[in-house]
Amino acid sequence: MTIKSIYGFVAAGLLLTACGKEFIERPSLSGTTTGNYYNSAEEVRAATSTLYSGLPWRNYESRAQDAIGDVMGGNMFTYTDVEYLNFTMSSASERIGAAWGAFYKIIGYANVMIKTFEEKKASGGGASYLDPAIAECHFIRGTVYFYIARTWGAAPIITDPGATALSGNFNIPRYLQSDVLRFALEELKLAEAGLPESDVAGRLTKYSAKGMMAKVYLYQKDYTNAKAKAQEVIDSGKYRLVSDYNGMFTKTSMNNNEETLFSIQHQLSGDPWGTGNIKNPDRGAGALRTAEADAWEMYIPSLDLLKEYEFGDLRRKWSVMEHGWTNTAWKPQRVNAPKYNAFMANGFKYDTLQPVEDGGSLSPTRSNITKYFAGPGKSFGGDAVLGQNSGNNVVLLRYADILLIYAEATLAGGASSSDAKALQALNLVRARAGLAPRTSFTLDQIMHERRVEFAFEGDYWYDIQRQGYAKAKAIIEKQNRGTVTAANYLTNFSEDRMYLPIPAGELVQDPELAKDPVPYYK
């Protein structure tokens, strides 16, 4: 399979060609040079924009992110990805292969760019614009390896696919998860050193790297460094919690807002980044399907998540549609549907009593997701939607996470904390949600806050996982993963479900992946 070059790659004549393994993306060995290319910041930034776009991220952010992060975590119900709901997934499961392929493709892009830019710099290219670009690549590579380590545990590390291809040895082993995490951190440190203090909206900065490092350190239970890095982001004064929580995910006008440290970039047309966001139809209530917007509610809120919200938590209505939820600006209409059109004439009403064909909603949990659902289309009062596509960025790291990392790192595994600064960070998140401040907090309370704050953002499974098998089993087996008519409680969650299996196709092509992991660092 050949992946055509994008943006700067087109100009440079570089091709990324798979060499028999999805996880080894290598540059063309045709002898192309960079002598006439990457001579300006504009050319280089055009190339690195690929790393932010939906093009390489698509097979992860579309469905795999939901299935792994929220269906497995118990935040979403689905009839489509039942194997993730019940932890019966196998190495042949579709989302596993999709995420693996996407992650290693992104790494392939970053690998080629790092090598290309370093060669250009060595031949006299401008360090002023090449060094920040190399740092962007290190951030992306580090972040993706962090995702890989959390998802599969032990995994291959590829940094020079060209050398691998020339060697002819494609039997790449899995490396210890601890080494994959160490590699991710080393990459993020390089990013921190090379990225600018500030940049145009959407571009990475030093504080993006510091924030992601804080998240990696927290995963490793290195609370001292997690707290220190989170503190650096907080002290920068560059970020704040935005008041329009729902708008962060549903309004293109709020892309790259002051809460965002890193997002996958999307636009509908004239797109310098890549592709549109295709989460819209998977989350949208069927009652909002129109000639402009698809909506087939593949993923819906779980009953267990709905029980998690405290009374008065505004994030519930900002994240979930339930009976009585309204949006008077949305006025969906359909051809030859007089009852439906009359019901929606004065604005959208989420109603579980009205017949479905006349505008009612009757999902298995009597709820639907609002995050990343842009609405019924511009003609019907919503943001612009083109079929399956919206222009909303997918946020992978935001300031609320930094605040909660700081609070949890201050707790540092203790029973409870009443530290003033940690409480201030936690209570900023709670205040936006309309909740009373806490005077002390426990780990369970932090995990509760993370669950409702980041619901449907693909992160909750990892919050469960990083607490260890015994705690994960207790959490999973208490969750109702069923519907309003049929409860479903798992009783067979086992330790081998803590990480996903490597895709079957990769195991066939590289038998080393089926063996025990080995150290990466000698």
The domain locations on the chain are: 280-392
pLDDT at 448: 98
Q: Is the pLDDT of residue 72 over 70?
A: yes
Taking only the tens place, the pLDDT of each residue in 378-398 is: 999 999 998 889 999 999 999
pLDDT at 10: 30
CB 191 within 8 A of CB 56: no
Residue of higher predicted confidence among 168 and 64: 64
d(CA 48, CA 522): 32
Question: 């083109």: which residue's tokens?
Answer: 386
Residue-averaged pLDDT of the chain? 92
Of how many residues is the chain composed?
522
Q: Is the pLDDT of residue 273 over 50?
A: no
d(CA 193, CA 209): 9
pLDDT at 501: 98
d(CA 24, CA 180): 16
Q: What is the percent of the chain where pLDDT is above 90?
A: 87
Question: To 10 degrees, what angle do helices 41-52 and 127-152 make?
Answer: 10
Instruction: Compute the average pLDDT of residues 34-45.
Output: 89
Which two three-digit tokens encode residue 373? 């659902």
d(CA 88, CA 83): 5
Instruction: Compute the average pLDDT of residues 501-521.
Output: 96
Rounded to 5 degrees, what are φ and ψ at 334? -135, 150
pLDDT at 14: 38
What are the beta bridge partners of residue 398? Answer: 260
| Number of alpha carbons in the 13 Å side-chain half-sphere of residue 362 | 9
CB 405 within 8 A of CB 232: no
What confidence tier does 5 reach under pLDDT thresholds 50, 70, 90? very low
pLDDT at 170: 75
Q: Is the pLDDT of residue 465 over 70?
A: yes
Q: Integer distance in angstroms from the first to the last C-alpha of the chain?
A: 34
Q: Is the pLDDT of residue 467 over 60?
A: yes
Instruction: Compute the average pLDDT of residues 221-241.
Output: 98
CA distances from 503 to 70, 239, 346, 480, 496 (A): 20, 39, 49, 29, 15
pLDDT at 36: 82
- CA-nearest of 365, 395, 402 to 455 is 395
pLDDT at 216: 98
Q: Which of these ranges, 158-162, 342-346, 459-463, has the smallest mean pLDDT?
A: 158-162
CA trace torsion 188, 191, 195, 201 (10° rounding): -50
What confidence tier does 502 reach under pLDDT thresholds 50, 70, 90? very high
CB 191 within 8 A of CB 110: no
Q: What is the pTM of this model?
A: 0.93
pLDDT at 168: 66
Q: Which amino acid is at 102?
A: A
Taking only the tens place, the pLDDT of each residue in 338-356 is: 999 999 999 999 999 999 9
Taking only the tens place, the pLDDT of each residue in 420-453 is: 999 999 999 999 999 999 999 999 999 999 999 9
Q: Is the pLDDT of residue 4 over 80?
A: no
d(CA 515, CA 28): 30
CB 477 within 8 A of CB 135: no
What confidence tier does 374 reach under pLDDT thresholds 50, 70, 90? very high
pLDDT at 390: 93
Q: Is the pLDDT of residue 157 over 60?
A: yes
Angle CA 150–155–156, to nearest 5: 140
Taking only the tens place, the pLDDT of each residue in 281-334 is: 999 999 999 999 999 999 999 999 999 999 999 999 999 999 999 999 999 999
Q: Is the pLDDT of residue 25 over 80?
A: no
For 4, counting Cβ atoms within 10 Å of its Cβ (0-12 exposed, 13-18 middle, 19+ buried), the class is exposed
